[in-house]
Amino acid sequence: MDSPRPADSGPSPEAAAFVRFCYHRRRAGWPELYDEMCAVASRRLYNGWGFMELADHGIGFSLFQTPALALLAREIVRDETERRARSQARQVADRAEDGVIAGDAAGAESNERLDRPETGPVTGLGLAGAAIG
């Protein structure tokens, strides 16, 4: 079956979206991601596409097509890892900014608690208390 795409045009946006979909289902690298892609294709979980429809979009699972698929998968995993790291860094920065602006009162309260000695009996020794006796 001939593909409507030229062979040297590289992966289609649909092919990259398929690999990204599979990566989001199972955050793994190659070859585990290949296993996930095969499972998704066999169950037609991505847009109802099976192996034939995916082949029309540049995703091939044969021995001769796996090097190109592995390269695409590595690129997607790298991009997603970088995107996730940027997102986490942004969240940490947002939390730090919120803590500085809105957390002044909370920070003062926690400092007050550290300055006051706790009163009352010691409880909750658990197993450590059993070993003392």
The yes-or-no verdict on residue 48 having pLDDT over 60 is yes
Q: Is 114 part of any domain? A: no
In sequence order, which residues have a C-beta less than 8 Å from that of residue 48 and are 6 or more positions away? none
- Is 120 inside any structural domain? no
In a domain, 64, yes or no: yes
Mean local confidence (pLDDT), 19-40? 92
How many domains does the chain fold into? 1
Look at residue 126 and tell me whether its pLDDT is greater than 90.
no
In a domain, 119, yes or no: no
Residue 73 scores a pLDDT above 70: yes
Structure tokens at 66: 């796996």
Asked whether residue 35 is assigned to any structural domain, the reply reads: yes
pLDDT at residue 123 tops 50: no
Domain range holding 67?
Answer: 12-106
Compute the distance between CA of residue 119 and CA of residue 2 in angstroms, rounded to an integer: 80
What count of Cα atoms within 13 Å lies in the side-chain half-sphere of residue 131?
A: 4
Task: Give the number of C-alpha atoms closer than 13 A to the C-alpha of residue 90, restricted to the C-beta side.
Answer: 6
Q: Considering the chain, what is the average pLDDT of its residues?
A: 77
Q: How far is CA 35 from CA 73, 77, 96, 105, in A?
A: 12, 15, 40, 52
Q: pTM value?
A: 0.60
29 — pLDDT class (breaks 50, 70, 90): confident
* Residue 127 domain-assigned (yes or no): no
Residue type, 83: R
